[in-house]
């Protein structure tokens, strides 16, 4: 079995958990590949080969050690390789990285034994028209267009499958997958969606119209966004990776041709996760 290891190298406590994972898997005789960041930060260049999605390394699973942000980074690195990802949570909420640090050895044992299930999560793809190059155009959580800091609101003309929907006058607009419905979408008042749904949600950020509400749609649509602003540009955030685009750059958002696979070992339901992470009923 070959496993690729990713981790948040900005925290000493997380590096300690990465060391713990490596020690256990080494003892089990598992083939290990490390992300470039982990190899450099932990000075393991001579001990482990770097994970490279362009090489035929026969990776059976990727392990993300950190929070949900690290999981998103791992998902972006794995891309469309179809490698399932196990998330070990060293952060706060941990909707994606569900495995608690106290359960690491038990969960890794189940992983090696093949005692787990895989959930598939939809991914968004962003393309541009009129210029503007996006290096990593895929999002597991959400794509958001936003005003630049200190600028006034932006205007986002939105079409669905070529049909005009609405012109949002707001601080921005979030287009989220069911997986991302508990992320940025939730913070701006959007609905929570079960990850088993085949849908998307459009949620405005601080809209200037009180009768505009989040909208849930099927995920087999193409969303087109044309943005105007006083500054002549706007921000686009793809799973937290932000860049500035000129206002004449049009965005097209649709479901990607591949999915991200999540490893589940604990048998925890989505409803149980909501109760534990969001403290429902307490």
Candidate list 68, 80, 115, 239, residue with the active-site label? 68
Main-chain dihedrals φ then ψ at residue 56, nearest 5 degrees: -85, 80
Region of 280 please: left (phi>0), alpha (psi -120 to 50) or beta.
Answer: beta
Establish whether 68 is a catalytic residue.
Answer: yes
The CA distances from residue 243 to 87, 92, 145, 221, in Å, are 27, 26, 10, 25
- Name 80's Cβ contacts closer than 8 Å, sequence gap at least 6: 256, 257, 258
Report the alpha-carbon distance of residue 258 to residue 223 in Å, rounded. Answer: 18
Main-chain dihedrals φ then ψ at residue 178, nearest 5 degrees: -55, -40
Q: How many angstroms separate the most distant Cα atoms in the chain?
A: 60
Q: Could you list the active site residues?
A: 68
């Amino acid at each position: 079995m070959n496993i690729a290891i990713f981790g948040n190298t900005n925290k000493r406590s997380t590096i300690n958990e990465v060391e713990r994972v490596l020690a256990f898997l080494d003892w089990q005789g598992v083939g290990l590949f490390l992300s470039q960041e982990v190899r450099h930060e932990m000075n393991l260049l001579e001990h482990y080969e770097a994970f490279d999605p362009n090489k035929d390394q026969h990776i059976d699973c990727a392990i993300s050690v950190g929070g949900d942000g690290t999981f998103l980074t791992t998902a972006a690195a794995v891309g469309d390789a179809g490698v399932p990802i196990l998330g070990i949570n060293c952060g706060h909420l941990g909707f994606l990285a569900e495995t608690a640090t106290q359960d690491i050895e038990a969960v890794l044992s189940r992983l090696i034994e093949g005692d787990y299930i895989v959930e598939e999560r939809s991914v968004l793809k962003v393309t541009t028209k009129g210029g503007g190059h996006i290096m990593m155009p895929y999002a597991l959580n959400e794509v958001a267009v936003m005003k630049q800091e200190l600028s006034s609101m932006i205007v986002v003309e939105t079409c669905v499958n070529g049909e005009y929907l609405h012109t949002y006058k707001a601080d921005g607009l979030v287009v989220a997958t069911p997986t991302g419905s508990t992320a940025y979408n939730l913070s701006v008042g959007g609905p929570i969606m079960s990850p088993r749904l085949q849908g998307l949600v459009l949620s405005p950020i601080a809209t200037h119209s009180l009768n505009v509400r989040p909208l849930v749609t099927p995920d087999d649509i193409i969303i087109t966004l044309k943005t105007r602003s006083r500054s002549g540009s706007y921000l686009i955030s793809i799973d937290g990776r932000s860049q500035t685009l000129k206002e004449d750059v049009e965005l097209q958002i649709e479901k990607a041709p591949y999915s991200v696979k999540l490893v589940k070992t604990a048998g925890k339901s989505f409803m149980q996760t909501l109760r534990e992470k969001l403290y429902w009923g307490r």
